[in-house]
Structures are given as structure tokens and as C-alpha cells.
């Protein structure tokens, strides 16, 4: 607790050469991975068919993959969707099969494995199946929903997702330049590009599926990282105007140390929620939570070791932060 009562005196900017080298290495590795491996795009971007199934008992996804592989369906992605009885199967676009045919082929192969065939069932009720003995009962495998995303829609989502991130960065550049100073605007955008590239690079290197929820998480990371950076920048601006002595590097170091307890507490509480989502949130939001986890860690790092050092590198000075005096504001107005 003593750490949070007293202001620390850590020379963050004195380590800027080492942190810049570290960040550049991470960015180069991320760009290399994106160029060589690319992103593991989900059907939201590539197009395909999504089939949600409900089993009567718990089932192992690896057994389902084996069954589909034996039936000639090699490219399906099988994962839990909530409980161990709920399964989500993602299939790439097949130009030779319609969506209904793809889903029927998948469900048919899985039902054949347990030895049952679909029978006529009442409209709106559970699907009925016929067992090898001829008995009719509720199917062990119930099809809950089938969704299809065409390649054209996926391509449009890819384009609009990239434009959304670009527009966000441009808007941030303009906002920070107006509120603070152009050097701060450049520093904040450099930090945000740093965060996005490293997050995408980790997703590429680990081949984690990149879907629309992941894109939403990256946009959320941009907002989180910017908020953290703005807090530091606001304290820097305030100290430039309050502290009559000291070089720019000393004032900026002092500002980072003053906001450090707030930065650490905010990051820790956010990480606590994100880790809970990863552990207990299920497969459907796992990618979203992983993107937030990476983004919060990298964003906290960049607000200290990337944004402020970039502003210092661009040559910020006390004069740049002093308010502009209006013409005629000085002097005695009385005759």
C-alpha cells in the first residue's frame, strides 16, 4: 500500500532507447507474421456456413472432427458453444454445394455415426429420428440454427472493418491535436498503431480465429489505450504550466510517475474482468476476450513507453504548452 501513497520516481524516459528497440522488434515480428502467415479469418470475413447443434449427452469435439473427416468434410472447425452438449461447426464456402446441402451433409454424417435417421416430426417441435430397431424418438442430435455468409459479404466486412480502424485513428489524430498539441497527436497515434499491429501479430502467430467480435475488441482496445494515454498527456500539460524549473524529460517523467498508480489499478481491474471472460465466458467470446487481454497489456505499456517518448523525441518544450496570449490582453485598459 505504501507504493500507492507516495509518488514513485522511476526514470521511464531514461529507458526509452531500450523500450523503442523492444517495440520495434515486436512490430517487425508482427508485420512479418502478418505477411507470411496472415490472419486466420473466420467465416464473417471469408464467407461460409455455421451450424449449431445440441447433443443429448456431452460430446468431444475431436470425435466430431473424426466423423466429419471420415465423411469427406475436412475443413470444418468444431468447437463448444456454451456447454459440452452444444457444438458449433464452421464450414468454408463450397461452390459445389448450397448452404442447406452442406448443413444436411454434416448432420447426416453425425447421425449416421450414432445409427439414427431423420423422420417426420411435428412442425415447431423437436426433430424425430428412427433408430436401427425402428423406434421413433427425439433425435440425439438437434439442429438449432444454420447461418450462411457469402464471400461478397465477407469481403465487404473486411473492407469496412479496415476502414473503421483507419477512421478511428484519423479522428483521434485530429482530436488530440486540437486538445493538446500536434506532437501529442502524433505520439498517441504512434502508440495506437503500435498496439493494433502487435495485437494482430499475436493473433497471426498463434493462428487464433479473427472474427467480427475480435475486430470489435481491437476497436475497444483503441479507445482504452487512448484513454490511458490522454490521462498521462493531461498531467504532462498541467505540469509543464505549473513547474517553473526542470527540463522536459524531468517534467514528463514526473507526470508519468504521478499517474502510474491510476494506470496500474485501472489495468489490473480491467484484466481481472477479461481473464474471467476467458475462463468462464465460453468459446463464443474467447477470441474477443483474448484480444482485450493482449490489448490492455500492450496499451498500458505503450501509454508509458511509446506515447510519451515519441512526444519527447519530436522536441516538445515548455513554450509549446503555454497558453497563447490574446492580442491586447496585456496592458492596462484604463486611460
| Per-residue pLDDT tens over the stretch 98-124 | 666 777 788 888 887 777 777 665 555
d(CA 16, CA 191): 14
The verdict on 173 and 84 lying in the same domain is no
pLDDT higher than threshold 90 for residue 128: no
Q: Are residues 256 and 112 in the same domain?
A: no
- 334, part of any domain: no
- The answer as to whether 106 is a domain residue is yes
Candidate ranges 246-250, 298-302, 318-322; pick with highest mean pLDDT: 298-302
> Could you tell me if 123 and 167 lie in one domain?
no
Residue 31: pLDDT band with limits 50, 70, 90: very high
Within this chain, do residues 170 and 317 fall inside the same structural domain, yes or no?
yes
The residue from 119, 149, 179 where one domain ends is 149
Residue 70, CA distances (Å) to 61, 66, 112, 119, 182 in order: 14, 6, 12, 24, 61
The confidence score (pLDDT) of residue 78 equals 82
Domain assignment of residue 328, yes or no: no
pLDDT tens for 234-245 read 888 888 878 767
Gyration radius (Cα) of the chain, Å: 27
The pLDDT value given to residue 201: 94
In a domain, 326, yes or no: no
Residues 240 and 302 in one domain: yes
Based on the fold, state whether residues 172 and 98 are members of the same structural domain.
Answer: no
**Looking at the domain assignment, is residue 28 inside a domain?**
yes
Count how many domains the chain has. 2
111 within domain boundaries: yes
Q: Which of 106, 134, 149 is the last residue of a domain?
A: 149
Last residue of a domain, one of 122, 149, 176: 149
Residues 9 and 116 in one domain: no
Residue 182 sits in the same domain as residue 67? no
Q: How many CA atoms lie within 13 A of 50 on its CB side?
A: 18
Both 163 and 204 in one domain: the answer is yes
Whether residue 22 is found in the same domain as residue 89: no
**Residues 6+ positions from 329 with CB-CB distance below 8 Å:** none
Q: Is the pLDDT confidence value at 10 over 60?
A: yes
Do 210 and 316 fall within a single domain? yes
Is the model's pLDDT at 216 over the cut of 70?
yes
For 248-264, write each residue's pLDDT tens digit.
888 888 888 888 888 88
Classify residue 331: in a domain, yes or no.
no
CATH number for the domain harbouring residue 68: 3.30.70.3400
Query: Does 218 score more than 60 pLDDT?
Result: yes
Domain that holds residue 235: 2-41+152-321
Indicate the pTM of the whole model. Answer: 0.75
Q: Supply the CATH number for residue 161's domain.
A: 1.20.1640.10
- One domain, residues 192 and 108: no
Cell reading at 199: 495485437
Could you give phi then psi for residue 80, rounded to 5 degrees? -70, 150
Cα dist. 206→76, 186, 203, 287 in Å? 19, 30, 5, 12
d(CA 192, CA 194): 5
CA distance 254 to 103: 61
Strands 141-149 and 48-55: antiparallel
- Helix H segments across 49-208? 61-70, 99-114, 151-179, 182-206
pLDDT surpasses 80 at 192: yes
Cα–Cα dist 228/224, whole Å: 6
Amino acid at each position: 500500500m505504501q507504493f500507492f501513497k507516495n509518488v514513485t520516481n522511476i526514470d521511464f524516459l531514461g529507458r526509452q532507447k531500450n523500450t523503442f528497440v523492444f517495440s520495434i522488434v515486436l512490430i517487425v515480428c508482427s508485420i512479418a507474421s502478418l505477411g507470411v502467415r496472415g490472419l486466420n479469418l473466420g467465416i464473417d470475413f471469408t464467407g461460409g456456413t455455421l451450424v449449431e447443434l445440441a447433443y443429448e449427452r456431452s460430446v468431444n469435439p475431436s470425435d466430431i472432427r473424426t466423423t466429419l473427416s471420415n465423411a469427406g468434410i475436412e475443413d470444418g472447425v468444431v468447437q463448444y458453444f456454451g456447454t459440452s452438449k452444444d457444438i458449433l461447426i464452421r464450414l468454408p464456402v463450397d461452390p459445389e454445394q448450397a448452404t442447406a446441402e452442406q448443413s444436411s451433409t454434416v448432420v447426416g454424417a453425425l447421425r449416421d455415426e450414432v445409427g439414427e435417421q431423420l423422420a417426420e416430426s411435428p412442425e415447431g417441435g423437436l426433430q424425430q429420428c428412427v433408430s436401427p430397431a425402428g423406434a421413433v424418438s427425439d433425435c440425439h442430435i438437434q439442429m438449432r440454427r444454420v447461418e450462411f455468409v457469402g464471400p461478397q459479404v465477407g469481403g465487404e466486412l473486411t473492407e469496412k472493418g479496415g476502414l473503421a480502424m483507419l477512421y478511428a485513428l484519423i479522428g483521434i489524430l485530429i482530436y488530440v491535436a486540437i486538445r493538446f498539441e500536434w506532437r501529442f497527436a502524433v505520439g498517441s497515434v504512434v502508440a495506437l498503431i503500435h498496439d493494433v499491429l502487435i495485437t494482430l501479430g499475436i493473433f497471426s502467430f498463434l493462428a487464433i480465429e479473427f472474427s467480427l467480435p475480435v475486430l470489435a475488441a481491437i476497436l475497444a482496445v483503441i479507445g482504452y489505450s487512448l484513454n490511458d494515454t490522454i490521462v498521462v498527456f493531461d498531467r504532462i500539460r498541467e505540469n509543464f504550466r505549473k513547474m517553473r524549473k526542470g527540463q522536459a524529460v524531468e517534467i514528463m517523467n514526473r507526470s508519468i510517475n504521478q499517474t502510474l498508480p491510476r494506470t496500474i489499478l485501472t489495468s489490473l481491474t480491467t484484466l481481472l474482468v477479461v481473464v474471467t471472460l476467458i475462463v468462464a465466458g465460453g468459446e463464443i467470446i474467447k477470441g474477443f476476450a483474448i484480444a482485450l487481454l493482449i490489448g490492455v497489456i500492450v496499451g498500458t505499456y505503450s501509454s508509458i513507453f511509446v506515447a510519451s517518448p515519441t512526444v519527447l523525441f519530436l522536441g516538445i518544450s515548455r513554450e509549446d504548452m503555454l497558453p497563447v496570449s490574446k492580442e491586447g490582453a496585456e496592458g492596462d485598459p484604463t486611460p
